[in-house]
Amino acid sequence: MIVDIHTHVGDCINGGGLSEPYDRPPRLLSDLFETSGFRLMGGRRLFPRFSRYVEIIHNQERNNLGTPENILAYMNRFGIDISVLQPIEPVRSTEDNLALVGERLRTFASVHPLHEGWESRLERYMETGCLGLKIHPIIQRLSPGEPAVFDLLEAYAPHGRPVLLHAGESSYFLNERSPSRFGRIGDWEAVLSSFPQVKFIVAHTAMEGWKKAITSGERLPNLYVDTSFQSVSHVREALRSLGKERVLFASDWPFSLQKAPLRVIASAAGGDAGLRRALLCDNAHAVLGL
């Protein structure tokens, strides 16, 4: 069985409905990242502006692939049994994800802790069967030090469920509508250490902040990572430092298709069937309580 703990449907960037849903991904320069098994990531340091443009176009274009029909078709194509959808309120609502939940699709919850009534919405979502809480500091414009983040986590912690925290300095818009700096994993360390009882899954192993994510994880036993957008060598390093139980397979579909991240897992696990099963399935069951 394969569980993909980090996927999206609907418009998770701009809000509203998808403007031009695609049946298949348009060909883009950024396809190189996937075909290279994410070894070609990291251009941000060398060509910051250029790689920013490439990333914005990638995110906006792939966003349009995220229909419920497409995710099921891609899951069938690459052998994924369960995908966990991630809402990002207010752009993609938890309710819209809950409406899709069934045997193969599950969902996390999302609330915005500066929008009135979030406490009761959070309670309702968790009672309705959400498996965890998604926080996207960039799209939700939540800086790691702000009191609202602590309020949210204080209310959420008693549920005993995990948090999927977007990490990495991603870009979605040309302007400051989504401040990339809020995704710096180092700035979230104080939050993670304030809630040692909450398991935080650092999405994308913090993209280019992967080294920082791993060293933080050596100090913080409640830090987990997902493998989306990471190369085999980075996943191996995460396994060496964090152990095999804190690394979870994810694609971040539709921003990456499932094919490349599945290949990364196959290479990272090599002939170790137990490790492969841990990464693709057992760890997700343990952390998400599936």
Question: In whole angstroms, how close is the CB of 229 to Zn ion at the nearest point?
Answer: 10
Question: In whole angstroms, how close is the CB of 13 to Zn ion at the nearest point?
Answer: 10
Pick between residue 86 and residue 283 the one whose CB is nearest to Zn ion. Answer: 86
Pick between residue 51 and residue 251 the one whose CB is nearest to Zn ion. Answer: 251
Q: Does residue 100 contact residue 9 with C-beta atoms inside 8 Å?
A: yes
d(CA 80, CA 289): 18
Question: In whole angstroms, how close is the CB of 264 to Zn ion at the nearest point?
Answer: 17
Question: In whole angstroms, how close is the CB of 75 to Zn ion at the nearest point?
Answer: 17
Which is it for the CA torsion 58, 64, 67, 72, positive or negative? negative
Residues that bind Zn ion (CB under 5 A): 86
Structural tokens at position 21: 């849903």
Pick between residue 64 and residue 86 the one whose CB is nearest to Zn ion. Answer: 86
Pick between residue 86 and residue 140 the one whose CB is nearest to Zn ion. Answer: 86
The set of residues, in sequence order, having a beta carbon less than 8 Å from that of 145 and lying 6+ positions away, is 187, 190
Q: Does residue 240 contact residue 264 with C-beta atoms inside 8 Å?
A: no
Burial class (CB in 10 A: 0-12, 13-18, 19+), 192: buried
In the complex, residue closest to Zn ion by CB: 86
Choose among 228, 284, 253, 252: nearest CA to 73: 253
Pick between residue 70 and residue 86 the one whose CB is nearest to Zn ion. Answer: 86
Q: How far is CA 62 from CA 66, 130, 164, 176, 279, in A?
A: 7, 25, 21, 21, 25
Question: In whole angstroms, how close is the CB of 170 to Zn ion at the nearest point?
Answer: 9
Pick between residue 254 and residue 269 the one whose CB is nearest to Zn ion. Answer: 254
Question: In whole angstroms, how close is the CB of 255 to Zn ion at the nearest point?
Answer: 7
